[in-house]
Structure formats: structure tokens, C-alpha cells
Structure 1
């Protein structure tokens, strides 16, 4: 069952309590120590996630993906959008860090 469907079944008091609980949980997440996940992404999805100390590994992975994408492109008509790949740091709460590598 999705969150929206679940919440739609609650009465007004339950919804208020849920909002307070969610606010408390969000505050805890916001105050939590943040860690960096290096994310290699194209325009459509994330291609790979790398740990804080794996920056160079992420760069190598990005270069491999760029080479693969370039080799797939028709040489007579290169679509630059399909070749766009980026490496970006994402700061995530420590409690969510390991979930990026499963």
C-alpha cells in the first residue's frame, strides 16, 4: 500500500499525529551527520554510487560510461544529450548512507 493511500484512510486526529511524528523524524534526519555519496548520473538515471573515499573510482567509472556511450552513438549524427554524464556529490544522512551501496 502506498503512502498516499495509507494516509487517506486516517481520520483527522490521526493525520495531525502523523504530521507531528513526521516533523520530528525530519528534524532528526536534518540534524544527523551527513556523508558524501559520489553519484555518476546521466539525464535519465543514476549509473553508479561511490563512497566518500572512492572519488577516483567514480571518475574512472564515469569515463568508462562516457566511452561506452560515445561508441554507441551513430558517427553521422551525434546526439550530445545522450553523452551528458555528470559526477556529483550528494550529502545524505548517515543512517541512509549504506542504502546507496546495496
Structure 2
């Protein structure tokens, strides 16, 4: 169960990161509210998951999911540059996250 909560928390990290960018310095109320709710939920889930998962593994997986998710949303939905180098770097992060889970 801890791993499921950790993955959901990582996805919520992507949500709050995108909402933070869309909030334009917290000047837009809806993205600012989404940021706050997703941030609290993401941190609460991370905290819960770290009861059963070592901190180094859990935090790295959480950050990796958030970073990869945010990069993919940026490229797919927000018009950020897509290049072979960027995609390869994302795949390296995914490989690292998988490795942390496998060698846990």
C-alpha cells in the first residue's frame, strides 16, 4: 500500500508543480488553490509512505515521478521543446526510479 500512496503522491507533485507555474506568482486564485491542495496531499502521502519505505528510496522515487511527470506535461500540453536529448534524460530518470524500486 505504501508504494501505491507514494506513486499517487508523486503524481500530485506533478499537479502542484504545474499549478504553481499557472498561478503566475499566486495572482490567479484557482491555480493557486490547486497548488495548495495538491501540495498538502502530496506531502501527506509522502509522509505516510515513508512509514514503510526508506527515506532515501521514497524521496528519490517521489521526486523522480514528479520531475518526469512535470517534464512530460510541459512537453505534451504546454508547448515546451521536445528533443531526443530531453526524452533520453527523462528515460534515465525513469530507469533510476525503477532501479530504486527493484533494489529496495
Task: Normalising by structure 1, report the TM-score.
Answer: 0.32
Task: Normalising by structure 2, report the TM-score.
Answer: 0.31
* Structure number having the greater strand percentage: 1
* Structure number having the greater helix percentage: 2
